[in-house]
Chain A
């Protein structure tokens, strides 16, 4: 049940509250990224974001709850270490903008945290754990549209597992993970799952 809630499968419910999934692999799961891999990927993405934006001043990292928000916080901490200045960071819940609301029972909302001066004129970097169908990102773009007018919007994800259903691509990718649709990808983060890992399960390979 917990595992199912964390999958970034197509239209899988994104629960507002962190589900304590536990970092231990369940039957048939294998780790494709371990803690040091995730660390290195995030450090690289942090540098890429900085380089692309030419400094941290206009940047705003917006994570999509639950795990995207945690990753955005980590990226912001790394950028601060490199630059010696804090970078704006928040979270953006996209539940109200999803296109699959009517297919499932109503769900709880996640947290939205924006800086006081909003998103206008900022370079917004959306951060999520897994990029799959692209529908979550579409919802995030719609949500941003209602919040203001950023200078640019970019997308950073820890894992890109393919199978896009919309013309969306990520600017910064931790790892490209070729998967089949029957497989599930689960991202565990130490803040809520006791350990860092990306776990892959199932499929007929």
Chain B
């Protein structure tokens, strides 16, 4: 059985297949009956050990639009708070006959472990600071809709790269799709070992800004910060925040993205988030479509059409 654990596992053909499938499925949300019978009788378990609004709802909507049965499981109020281990939880799901497990976990690598314990497909919905593949796919889908082919497009990912699973997933996926990625962050918010990442790194947002087709702002993840990574919120915002003045220096047609949830006034100004160049609301809509495509390709056939080996 195949899984979607990391965007690094996706070949260019796999990635394009997901995006093309999503393109066709996007019509479903415009119909009066927003439902397809394709996954009737299949069970998708949403296994969320970390808080999430949009990702969990998005996966739930996607599975339901494909007629799958959805079981939501959140760590709060479950036996996990009594000390049940991930493995025992997995075995419980296995016994219930889950065809797919969508998992979010605070520990990097938890979905990989899970993939060894269950027979169904495992979809990584965010693991620690490691990966969040469906977010990267929906970002790529949104870029493709706004800008066309991603070949040669310059994408700047700005902010708290250190704690960002979105950044890591995007670097791999966008590079696979032919885009040139630049990470922009203060040195303290970049991972230590970046030697193998297929991207450029810059500390100077203003230098990168005029050369960007896409500016993706990342949330400053206070909840994961156990030390002070920058002097003050105000200073961070002045050097790495996207304000209306910086928006004005972006090339014509360039777009602003943010995976949400936003710290308005910190990494992104409210006027920028609500401007016509911002794709933030579209990203949420596209999330459902892209997750439908992933579930369809993993679950509908006798064997999955995408995904790396476990």
Contacts and interface: CB of A to CB of B under 8 A. Distances in A.
Contact of B302 (A103, A108, A112): A103
A152 interface: no
Interface stretch (B32-40, B71-79, B182-190, B264-272): B32-40
Chain A, interface size: which category?
20 to 34
B25 A105 contact: no
Main secondary structure of the interface of B (DSSP, over half): loop
A101 B37 CA distance: 11
Q: Which of A96, A105, A142 lies at the interface centre, i.e. has the most chain B CB atoms within 10 A of its CB? A: A96
A148 B30 CA distance: 13
Interface string A125-165: 00000000000000000100011100000000000000000
A54 interface: no
A112 B27 contact: yes
Contact of A102 (B20, B25, B300, B306): B300
B61 interface: no
Nearest to A142: B37
B36 A101 contact: no
B37 A96 contact: yes
Contacts of A111: 24
Interface string B15-33: 0010011001101000111
Contacts of A106: 296-301, 303-306
Interface in A76-127: 93, 96-97, 101-112
B63 to A, nearest CB: 14
Contacts of B299: 106
A93 B296 CA distance: 15
B36 A105 contact: no
A96 B305 contact: no
Interface in B30-77: 31-33, 35-38
A101 B38 contact: yes
Contact of A146 (B17, B35, B298, B304): B35
Contacts of A109: 20-21, 24-25
Nearest to A102: B302
B303 to A, nearest CB: 5
A106 B17 CA distance: 11
Nearest to B297: A106
Nearest to B299: A106
Contacts of A101: 38, 300-301
Contacts of A104: 301-302
Nearest to A145: B33
Nearest to B292: A96
Nearest to B304: A106
Contacts of B297: 106
A16 B25 CA distance: 13
Interface in B255-308: 296-306
A112 B24 contact: yes
Contacts of A93: 24
A106 B306 CA distance: 9
Given A112-B24, A146-B31, A107 B36 contact: no
A147 B31 contact: yes
Contact of B301 (A97, A107, A147, A148): A107
B17 A108 contact: yes
A176 B302 CA distance: 34
A84 B300 CA distance: 44
A109 B25 CA distance: 9
A67 to B, nearest CB: 18
Nearest to A97: B37
A154 B300 CA distance: 29
A136 to B, nearest CB: 15
A142 B40 CA distance: 14
Given A96-B38, A146-B31, A147-B31, A105 B24 contact: no
Nearest to B296: A106
B33 A146 contact: yes
A103 B303 CA distance: 9
Contacts of B38: 96-97, 101
Contacts of B25: 109
Interface of B: 17, 20-21, 24-25, 27, 31-33, 35-38, 296-306
6 contacts: A102-B300, A105-B301, A106-B296, A106-B304, A109-B25, A111-B24
Which 8 residue pairs are nearest across A and B when measured between Cβ atoms? A106-B301, A106-B305, A109-B24, A105-B301, A96-B36, A146-B33, A96-B38, A106-B300
